Each structure stands twice: as C-alpha cells, then as structure tokens.
Amino acid sequence: MSDLLIENGRLVDPSQGIDRPARLLIVGGVVAAIDPSDADIPEGCQRIDATGCIVAPGLVDLGVELREPGSEEDETIQSGSDAALAGGFTSILCTANTEPVIDSPGAVEFVRQKAARANGVRVHVIGCLSRQREGEQMAELGLLAEAGAVAFSDAPRPIANDALLKRSLDYCRMLNRVIFDIPEIPELAENGVMHEGQVSLTLGLRGLPTEAEDLAVARDVRLAEATAGRLHVGPVSTMGAVDMIRRVKSREIAVTASVCPHNLCLLDTELRSYDSRFKVHPPLRSVRHVEMLREAVADGTIDAIQSGHRPRSREKKMNDLDLAPFGAATLETTLSTVSKFMIDNGILTWSAAIDRLSTAPARIASIPGGTLAVGSLGDVVVIDPNATWRVDAAEFRSNCISSPLDGHELSSRVTHTIVGGVVRFQA
C-alpha cells in the first residue's frame, strides 16, 4: 500500500453529502483525511492531479457473472476484474451460476482465492440459495455465510419455489444476509426472446410478457413483508414492477430494487435488426417502461443501478437470435451510459448517480465501500465528466465483446480506479 493524495478535483460523496472541490488523502489503504493540511501529507506521497475531474467512492456492482469455473470462454475472474476496473468499479458481487455452482464453502473459497490472485477489483461472492441452483432444497446457507458469501441467489434463474423463498427469508434474518431474486414467472416467460408487444408481434418473435415480471415482484414483496426478511429484486424493467415496489416502500417494507443501464436508454425496437447483442435480460422494453424506470431511479424507488454484466463468447452470440443466449458485456460502459442518458438529460445529478452506482449498492449488500468517510476503504474512482468516447466492444477488457451500446457515443470516462489506495487502472 502506498500513500496517495488526489488533489484539484471535485469530491462527490453522497454518503456524507459532499459535492465540492477538495483534496483526498489515503494512507495505508484507508481514507485518512479530506482537505488535509500540508503538514499531514506524508513525505513521498504519490499525487494524482484530478483537475476538471470528479473524485468519488469506487463503484459497486450487485451482480456480475464471472463464469469461472466452467465457462472460461465467456469470462474469467481475471478478465472480469480487468473490465470492472476499467469501468470504475472497485467492488463487485459474483453470481453463483458457475460450473460447479457456488453452493459449498469450497466453491466460495475458490472464487475468493482466484480473485486475490487477479489483484484487481474486490470480488464478493453470492452463494446459491438452493442446492445446485435447482430451486428445491435450501443450500447450506450458514456454511456459505461462514465461508464468506455476502448474499444468496439462484440468479440468473428466478426463485420460482414460493415455500423455499419464504423459508430462506426467515432463515437469512438470523444470518443478516440479503436474498437477491431476478423476478420472473418461468411459465409465462418460457422461450421468450424479447419484450412482448407490437414489435415482437411484427417480427414474429416470441415475447417476454411484462406480467411475468410484475407477478413475480408482487409475490416477492409480499413474502418479504410477511417474513421481515431482507430482499432485493432486480434488475427490474417494467412499469408494473416499479408501481409495486413504490407502494411497498411507502409501507416501509425492507425491499430494494435495481435496474440495468441499457434498460434506461434502449428500446425493444433495436431488435428489428435481429442483432443478438440486443438480446439481454431483462429485455429492452417499450418507451413507456423506459420513462417509468428513469423516473423511479430519479425518485429513489429504484435504489441502485447494476451493470447486468452477463458475458457470453462471440461464438455463442453469433447464433440466430432465437438460439443465441441472453447476455452482454456492460461493466465498461455502465458509468458512461448513466452519464449520457441520465445526467446529461438532467434526470440525475452526479451526487445521485454516484449514490445509485456506489453508496446504495454497498449498503444493500452490507459490504464495505460506497463512502469516502475518514477511516473507510481507500476505494476511489476518478472520472472525467467532459470526455466523450465511442464504444468499440472489440477493445473491451472483458472476454465478451457483445454490447448493446456498441457504436454509441457516450459521455464521461474513468481516468483512475483506485483499490485500497493502489491505482489498479489508469486510462
């Protein structure tokens, strides 16, 4: 660990209500001071000139598929870590859909050891909620928690078993762990390719109806209310889901929600190209859903923005649209997508955007991060808000080069990603 001073930047930290020019001092891997005196700066301290840039807590992602072990052609822990750093993330939660799945302490330890060797982003493990992710019997949640799992989920599979979810919510209260559920009724969504609507009808593609998500969210929040368990639903994509979440939050039920950045800016009309890079899950919806999602992020109904990073190899995504898997590489474009479509349009301030991308996700997952308070981890992202760039997925650090934003001109770009006071990425 080296001592680091970031100066001449605009410090944005929603956890402390800070948005002003300030210097940030990191000593021994933790935040030592904001606006330190010259006498407090250690001799030989490394300096970063952040003139014209925003200095913020490192971004935190609530669900990243790293695909290792088992599907290294899609992504590895190393390549996923590199992609996360390039996108400004300092902590990510790794989903359990590996081969073998993460339903044992040994599987948790494997990911943690590989992440430590990657020497990049902090990787927190989401353990399976059910054994083998089969949705029938509860996994050994206590042992998984002891091994370091910070949350439980069968994602990207929804938790279809009502009784299992209810028992798990009850049990996880004792473990103080959150359950993540991707809300979908499998029977309604079976073999769906895209949002069910006028465009899917015209294209002759099987649709994913909004009711599949709406009904699942309704069940999820009702069980969360009944058990007083901690539940996170998302990513969500429909007006009905937003309406349900807004209503239960008004009753102070402990439910949180997230959305993917591409669901805030792209429409189902993109599928007219039959290009599989637009085949993502949740699917791109119609304009009315997008507008409602934007409003929900702005007013806090949706707590967090998560990347939705589901990498798949070029060979898999080159299949016909109905056969190609859902998925895309999004870690490296998430921040810039939010900047372009939410901040530049006046929907979010920079402080609100950092809250949704960093402070809120860290709070939801109960992991360190999301703040630059004195004594907190020295995890920082430095952002040039005046930069513009055109997305070229072929240049991604991820193994996956399929991106729904490929070719788009986005605003803002990460210049430095700092983990524990060490610069892990520099543009």
Percent of the chain surpassing pLDDT 70 = 100
Label residue 2 by pLDDT band (50, 70, 90).
Answer: confident
Q: What is the pLDDT of residues 358-373, one digit of tens each?
A: 999 999 999 999 999 9
- Own/partner contacts of 29-35, CB < 8 Å, gap of 24 or more, are 29/1, 29/377, 29/378, 29/420, 29/421, 29/422, 30/375, 30/376, 30/377, 30/378, 30/421, 31/372, 31/373, 31/374, 31/375, 31/376, 31/377, 31/378, 32/374, 33/374, 34/372, 34/374
- The per-residue pLDDT for 296 is 98
Please determine, for residue 416, whether its predicted confidence score (pLDDT) is greater than 70. yes
The DSSP symbol for 42 reads P
Spans of all domains in the chain:
58-365
- The per-residue pLDDT for 254 is 86
Given a contact cutoff of 8 angstroms between Cβ atoms, the answer to whether 60 and 334 are in contact is no
Q: What is the pLDDT of residues 182-231, one digit of tens each?
A: 999 999 999 999 999 999 999 999 999 999 999 999 999 999 999 999 99
- The per-residue pLDDT for 376 is 97
- The per-residue pLDDT for 354 is 98
Q: At 274, which amino acid appears?
A: Y
Please determine, for residue 252, whether its predicted confidence score (pLDDT) is greater than 90. no
Arithmetic mean of pLDDT, 334-345: 98
What six digits make up the tokens of 361?
Answer: 């996700």
Q: What is the pLDDT of residues 54-80, one digit of tens each?
A: 999 999 999 999 999 999 999 999 999
Return the beta strands (E) in 200-286 as ranges.
207-208, 231-233, 255-259
Q: What is the pLDDT of residues 319-335, one digit of tens each?
A: 999 999 999 999 999 99
CATH code, 58-365: 3.20.20.140
Q: What is the mean pLDDT of the chain?
A: 97
- The per-residue pLDDT for 343 is 98
- The per-residue pLDDT for 1 is 61
β-bridge pairing 30-34 and 18-27? antiparallel
Q: What is the pLDDT of residues 269-316, one digit of tens each?
A: 999 999 999 999 999 999 999 999 999 999 999 999 999 999 999 999
- Report H helices in 87-209: 105-118, 141-147, 162-175, 186-189, 198-203
Q: At 283, which amino acid appears?
A: P
Question: Got the DSSP string for 48-102?
Answer: EE-TT-EEEEPEEEEEE---TTT-TTT--HHHHHHHHHHTTEEEEEEPS-SSS-S
Q: What is the pLDDT of residues 85-96, one digit of tens each?
A: 999 999 999 999
Please determine, for residue 24, whether its predicted confidence score (pLDDT) is greater than 80. yes
Q: What is the pLDDT of residues 130-179, one digit of tens each?
A: 999 999 999 999 999 999 999 999 999 999 999 999 999 999 999 999 99
Which 3 state secondary structure label does DSSP give 132?
helix
